[in-house]
Amino acid sequence: MSWSNVRLILAREIRDQLRDRRTMFMIVVLPILLYPLLGMAFFQIAQFMRETATQVLVIGAKSLPKEPPLVENGRFAERLFSAPEKALLLELTFAPDEPRPDRPSDATGGVESRREAEAQVQAGEYEAALYIPPDFGDRVETFREALKQRAQRSAQGPSTPDLDLRSPLEVPKPEIIYTTATEKSELTSARLGDVLRRWTEEVRKANLAAAEVPQRAAERLEVVTTDVAQQTGAAGAARWSKVLPVLLLLWAMTGAFYPAVDLCAGEKERGTLETLLSSPARRSEIVLGKLATIMLFSILTAVLNVASILIMGRVVLGQLPGFGMIPAGGVLWLAVALLPASALFSALCLALAAFARSTKEGQYYLMPLLLVTLPLAVLPATSGMELNLGNSLIPVTGLVLLLRTALEGSAWEALEYLVPVTLVTLGGCLLAIRWAIDQFNSESVLFREGERLDLGLWMRHLVQDRKPTPTVAGAVFCGTVILMAHFFTGLAMPKWNDFGGFARGMLVGQVAVIATPALLMTIMLTTSPRKTLLLRWPAWPTLLAAVLLAVVAHPVVDAIRRMVLSLYPVNPQMEKWLEELGLQRIVAESPLWQVLLVFAALPAVCEELAFRGFILSGFRQSGHKWRPIVYSAFFFGFIHGILQQSLVACLVGVAIGFLAVQSGSILPAMVFHAVHNGLTVVSTRASGQIVEDWPPLGWFVRAGTDGALEFAWPVVALATCLMLAILFWFQRLPYGRTPDQRRQERIAKGLQWNG
């Protein structure tokens, strides 16, 4: 690695970007102008914002009590609004069969009128309707009269009989009919709600007066709130802490995206990338030089935007209650977090932009990048997520939570999770840099030509130009088909109460949804099902070693499962759903051999054919050894549905993939899978009772909180050592490289000179 070359490339790219008016506008001019302009525009637009009147249908107005009046002169009484002119915002229409209260009539507002009102609101003729039950006013009057009499009698003596004091505000009550399908209707409902709240308050006061109870006796107790942040000058930090981390990350990404597209896709388009590739600079030096430039502009964009927001905030938002200034320490945290965030986004944008053939194509990749990043950044800022070890390990989310916690003033709590957040962010960054370097080493990416989109041609190519094993695209396609089919059949499946139903469901899920697509694609898209599905008889010791590995891995996997559950606890709703599913009961109560057949043997065959058969073989065409194992394990993990289960399955999938690759056969993978699942089933069935029946077992296992057996830590430690020893034995097996892997190794050998 020549750092002088990296510096040279960095200096050139910076100069190049500084001379690009579009980039400078996006990065420097826009943030400086955007927020003041937005602020000015906001004030200008506010002048034009006017509340418009909405239509309300009133049914049963004649049934309203006379005192206090709700309706006066064809409108709601002005005293029921915060300002008298607001009464004009609710235009009332009285139901045709309902007379105005000042014009008495015999007509009654009944069920039919209410149904009609619903229909009219649905049809959009009225934004909302107010339905007053037919005898509502009479009941209010009767109730008040009863209160009056009670007060008089209690004044005469204590031995008076009780009167009927059921409140008229109990069922049936006045009702607001509206629809959430339109915003206007929701707004009208809210306005009506306010009016009726004030009116019912008046009704309550009138009732109290009738009962001769002083108003103060029923007065609400007021609670005083004190914001201690006012004393520390950190008022409103919570609001800033939600907004600023998200804005910082989004601007860091936007600031990285445009220079990345210009420096990679733009250079390809302008023909200068080949000029640079033919210079002595290594690909890694080119990537690092460009990455540093992109990072610099990403940081600059984020800093300018956040600074502009903070200044605007001080001038405009600082005037608003609840939007004070963030403490200086918070700004420092933002500055510290910006570096890894920019590095991560810059590397991601660089890799994506290197893939793009032209600037135009590069721009298309912004949306997918946003779609992935936005939920990770916005969810922790808006939901009740808290910073803990589990959440700190989620890329982007951990960073946002860390910043939020720090900005809220809990810097010590944030410091506790600084290491995991930094490790995850830098890990993501290194992976993205590796990806970007791979893109720069890939001829098919650098010299990609435009292909006409022709699905028919592509399908014909898949079938006619078949190779012994599937392609990477075939593996991705198969994995995606299986995942989607599994998801939708899972939704469509009925809920089972017995083992028979569950077994049928598993049979459909495993055979029809997982194994069949893989087998069909093997027949249609490859010329050698034997090579694709690794249908080769392995040496006996490997089968024995797979059994042993599954046995010793069981306590380790169990410990990992418990660790994952403590990091990411299953939420109560999911727990309730799992309980209702009754899987544990079914496993415990059904005959063991049947349970083993359904939960161990069936998935071992079907899932292995798909994930270590077709999908792994497809990914191996990339010519690498570990990447296919990890990618197939990702698909294997995803199929397990629940996040916590997926994480563990993904790790187990890596181990099984390793066995398949090292042994060159699917059988050790199937054996491991079957034994592993079988042990899990047996462990679930074995309750704490077994430890009570066999006290010496207590040295090794104990009943866990979930009822299943939990292994003592010395057992887990010993099992880990044994597991590593067996994996090491597998590693030493002479495994057969695929032709693609041999090709990739030749390339890598050539690239050793190239860094």
The packing angle between helices 713-731 and 540-567, to 10°, is 140
Among 73, 154, 215, 279, binds another protein (CB under 8 A): 279
String marking each residue 456-495 x if it binds another protein according to CB under 8 A: -xx--x---x------------------------------
Q: Does 450 sit near another protein (CB under 8 A)?
A: no
- State the residue for tokens 């964009």: 301
Q: How far is the CB of 738 from another protein (least distance, A)?
A: 16
Q: Does 455 sit near another protein (CB under 8 A)?
A: no
The dihedrals phi and psi of 536, each to the nearest 5 degrees, come to -140, 140
How far is C-alpha 272 from the geometric centre of its chain's CA atoms? 40
String marking each residue 13-32 x if it binds another protein according to CB under 8 A: --xx--xx------------
The whole-angstrom separation of Cα 634 and Cα 650 is 6
The whole-angstrom separation of Cα 11 and Cα 20 is 14
Nearer to another protein, 100 or 466 (CB): 466
Q: Does 577 sit near another protein (CB under 8 A)?
A: no
The whole-angstrom separation of Cα 695 and Cα 495 is 39
Q: Is 76 helix (H, G, I), strand (E, B) or coil?
A: strand
Q: How far is the CB of 280 from another protein (least distance, A)?
A: 5
Q: Residue 148 CB: number of other CB atoms within 10 A?
A: 16
What is the total count of residues that contact another protein (CB under 8 A)?
A: 36
Q: Does 104 sit near another protein (CB under 8 A)?
A: no
Q: How far is the CB of 755 from another protein (least distance, A)?
A: 8
CA distances 624 to 152, 474, 528, 542, 618, Å, are 95, 16, 20, 23, 11
Q: Are 428 and 341 in contact (CB under 8 A)?
A: no
Q: Does 741 sit near another protein (CB under 8 A)?
A: no
Per the structure block, which two tokens stand in for 755?
């860094």
Please list, in sequence order, all residues whose beta carbon lies within 8 angstroms of the beta carbon of residue 717, skipping any fewer than 6 positions away.
none
Q: How far is the CB of 635 from another protein (least distance, A)?
A: 24
Cα end-to-end span (Å), the chain: 7
Q: Pick the piece of the chain touching another protein (CB under 8 A) from 381-389, 527-535, 537-545, 747-755.
A: 747-755
Q: Pick the piece of the chain touching another protein (CB under 8 A) from 28-36, 99-107, 628-636, 743-751.
A: 743-751
Q: How far is the CB of 439 from another protein (least distance, A)?
A: 15
Residues numbered 215-274 forming contacts with another protein, rule: CB under 8 A: 270-272, 274
Q: Residue 632 CB: number of other CB atoms within 10 A?
A: 29
String marking each residue 408-447 x if it binds another protein according to CB under 8 A: -----------------------------------x--xx
Q: Does 282 sit near another protein (CB under 8 A)?
A: yes
Q: Does 157 sit near another protein (CB under 8 A)?
A: no
Among 154, 167, 275, 382, binds another protein (CB under 8 A): 275
Per the structure block, which two tokens stand in for 552?
């010793």
Q: Does 288 sit near another protein (CB under 8 A)?
A: no
Q: Is 94 helix (H, G, I), strand (E, B) or coil?
A: strand
Among 5, 422, 621, 665, binds another protein (CB under 8 A): 5
Q: Does 527 sit near another protein (CB under 8 A)?
A: no
Q: Pick the piece of the chain touching another protein (CB under 8 A) from 4-12, 96-104, 601-609, 687-695.
A: 4-12
In DSSP notation, 496-556 reads P-SHHHHHHHHHIIIIIIIIHHHHHHHHHHBS-HHHHTT--PPPHHHHHHHHHHHHHHHHH
- The site for another protein (CB under 8 A) is made up of 4-5, 8-9, 12, 15-16, 19-20, 270-272, 274-275, 277-282, 443, 446-447, 451, 454, 457-458, 461, 465, 746-747, 749-750, 753-755
